[in-house]
Structure 1
């Protein structure tokens, strides 16, 4: 794959990676669990699974998670559900309502000191601003989310966001910052031994260097 991130539609795909074989397992666990908190978590996972596959079910399970988490006072699940609802609303261009949900998720996560949930909400806010063409705000939120995941020792999520940042910086012509993000991904993927991702990282880095050479050539004229 020439780039792990080229078009806008992939911004949310990188955040939502699920294997299709998980559907039956998730549904079976959700339908048979007697624990409300477990059902909230599973509903959120099902919402993520259906994000591209079935928008109606995507919203249905996010809303189920939100209502049940409100009922039982489960804050983590509630914040994740709000973030999932916000992502669904972005996908149907209801940006004002999406922003309300994502901002509520972010503020609640910060107030409760839930760093992972804060990072998730900020990452989705980055997507929101990117879709509206507000690149600087998108970069700010993506950067904050990546840093939180990095400090939380979750390099997988951080790497996904750094790929997004690298692609944005490259499109803006800020090649040096793009390279910083792409090299962060390369270091992580090398540590994991992920050959396909390493190949993608080298592609991204190589093309960024080509861009840099072209820009330097243009400046010299």
Structure 2
């Protein structure tokens, strides 16, 4: 089957809210709401892409390490007879239908398409079956800042690699700040009064209170 398929390797909104540091434990529900909105956006993109879509949520992922689980997801889709797989997550606010379409079109003449993320990872990985080497793939430095460079190096040794523009995925509060100007619903959530106060309080405590004596103010320099 020559038509690319879409594989969404996803974490549930509740799991992402627990796993990623956004607004602090006291505002867990705010984080869940954000990831629910992101998930709904990803569902809409998948539907509008017109591509057959496979979802792999955290409870369906098999393997001990992230690399093993991710490789198994690719392996399962390829085992169904599909030869081109475009993989994305459900935590990328800037991802648009155009990125998926560009990857799909590129797979007509390229064997690999990567979408680099600002944190050093990849928000999109599109592979043909012939460029998927399971053992090497699962042993890459997943969830580390060196992933994109190592993945590009590995795949470039087999074939040419086409790259999309760099985007930001959501891992922490700082990544939200980076994308907030371009994504209105994140801006609204991010600067809700209680989330903003929580974040500001945490920052000032770290900056102004010395670790050895939290009740004593630091000296001022003029």
Smaller-chain TM-score bracket: 0.3 to 0.5
Structure with higher strand content = 2
Structure with higher helix content = 1
TM-score of the superposed pair, with normalisation by structure 1: 0.35
TM-score of the superposed pair, with normalisation by structure 2: 0.35
For CA contacts below 8 A with separation 6 or more, give which structure has more relative contact order: 2
